[in-house]
Structures are given as structure tokens and as C-alpha cells.
Amino acid sequence: MLLLAMDTATPAVTVALHDGEAVVASSSRVDARRHGELLLPAVDRVLKEAGLTLDAVTGLVVGVGPGPYTGLRVGLVTAAAFSSALGVPVHGLCTLDGLAYASGIDGPFAVATDARRKEVYWARYDDFRTRATDAAVDRPADIAEALAGLPVVGAGALLYPEAFPDARDPEHQSAAALAALAAEKLVAGETGGFLDPLPMYLRRPDAQVPKNYKVVTPQ
């Protein structure tokens, strides 16, 4: 097994290789505006660090979000292109699940990432392997009571300390954690735990088609 994992659903452009037992190489850079520019060089970097070529990959893992429209689709399109070229499967995972897994928290908690517009993408977890709710997008004040007393992992918790006073690491997504979670599921035969590699947007994109067009052609 050699899994190439990537996630661009958050400001972190993150890539990792996992051989079924451990992460053999990883790269992460936080830059919310350069997902398309940074992802492929990161893939090249981890392959070079591991002394491998792309054709050694036996499967792909990609974070499906939730996340903003533009950044999220960079990772998904890249994973789909690699899958087509290599003839290997793509395993989708909720981005929040990667953060949860990396936290290692063995008890109830939540994950919250920055959704912009003064909102967060979030979900509750029974432990670091088990998501208890679907991912959602809400204003922090609207969910503060529901999450009261729970640790909250991720950048969303740090951005809104008044709503989430018990903020925990990690702040940013890690493809290394996403790859380790996927490898654990594959080794255990838990293929039903994967998602289709399609974007989880949860809301409409920021860019909108104008509703009223100005007529510039002769009548």
C-alpha cells in the first residue's frame, strides 16, 4: 500500500504519503490564496523525499471538505486527475475527520474550521475516530450553547474564543493525519467509511452570477 493524501479545503495546502504502516513523507503550508500554485510542487516534494515516483502510488486520499469553493476543488480535481492517469481509486474523507483524528482526543469534543462570513464549519465527535454528527456551517454564537463544556479543535475555535473557550490543537489540517486515518480504515476493511470524492460545500459559493444584465446590443 502506498497512499497519496491531499487536502485543500482549509488554508493549509497539505500532502502526505503513507505506506500502510506509517507516514513516509509529508508537506504542509498555510496559504489561503495559493492552493493551485502550491499543491503540485508539494506532491513532487513528498515523492522526492520518499525516493518514489508517482506510479508507485496504489491509492489516493482526498479531503472533501467542507470548505470554500475555490480552494476545495483544487485538491479534488488533482486527485481525480491522478486517479485517471494511474488507474487507482480515490478515497474521500471529511476534512474535519482529519483534524479530529490528529487531535487524539478520546472522548466527546468538536472540530471547527473557519468558514469565513463570521461562520465555522463544524461537527461533534464521540472520540477522535468517531464523528457523531454531520458537518454543518453556523455562526459560532448559535452553536456555543450546544458545544458548551466541550473541547473544540481547529482554527475556528481559535478565531472565536468567546464561543469556544476550550480551544485545542491542531489548528490546521494535516494530510498525514488524513492518510493515517484512511490507511487504518483500509487495513481494517472499513471501506464503507469513505465518501465519494465530491466537494462538500454546505452553502452557495461567494461569487454569484448577476441577476440583471445590462443590454448592450441593438434592439
* 22, burial (CB in 10 Å: exposed 0-12, middle 13-18, buried 19+): exposed
Task: Give the model's pLDDT for residue 193.
Answer: 80
Which residues, other chains included, contact 188 with Cβ-Cβ below 8 Å and sequence gap of 6+?
A: none
Reported as type and span, the H/E element at residue 96 is helix 95-103
Residue for cell digits 495546502? 13
174: cell is: 494535516
Task: Give the model's pLDDT for residue 191.
Answer: 78
Task: Give the model's pLDDT for residue 203.
Answer: 75
110: cell is: 468538536
126: cell is: 464521540
Task: Give the model's pLDDT for residue 215.
Answer: 57
CB 7 within 8 A of CB 95: yes
What gap in Å lies between CA 85 and CA 200, rounded to an integer? 24
Which residues, other chains included, contact 60 with Cβ-Cβ below 8 Å and sequence gap of 6+?
A: 3, 4, 5, 6, 79, 82, 83, 88, 89, 90, 91
Task: Give the model's pLDDT for residue 209.
Answer: 52
Reported as type and span, the H/E element at residue 39 is helix 35-50
Other CB atoms within a 10 A radius of the CB of residue 207 amount to 7
pLDDT, tens digit only, all 219 positions of the chain? 999 999 999 999 999 999 999 999 999 999 989 999 999 999 999 999 999 999 999 999 999 999 988 899 999 999 999 999 999 999 999 999 999 999 999 999 999 999 999 999 999 999 999 999 999 999 999 999 999 999 999 999 999 999 999 999 999 999 999 999 999 999 999 877 899 999 999 975 554 555 665 555 665
CB 64 within 8 A of CB 195: yes
Task: Give the model's pLDDT for residue 75.
Answer: 97
Residue for cell digits 475527520? 97
Other CB atoms within a 10 A radius of the CB of residue 50 amount to 17
142: cell is: 448559535
Task: Give the model's pLDDT for residue 214.
Answer: 59
For 134-187, the three-class secondary structure string (H helix, E strand, C coil) is CCEEECHHHHCCCCCCCCEECHHHHHCCCCCCCEECCCCCCHHHHHHHHHHHHH
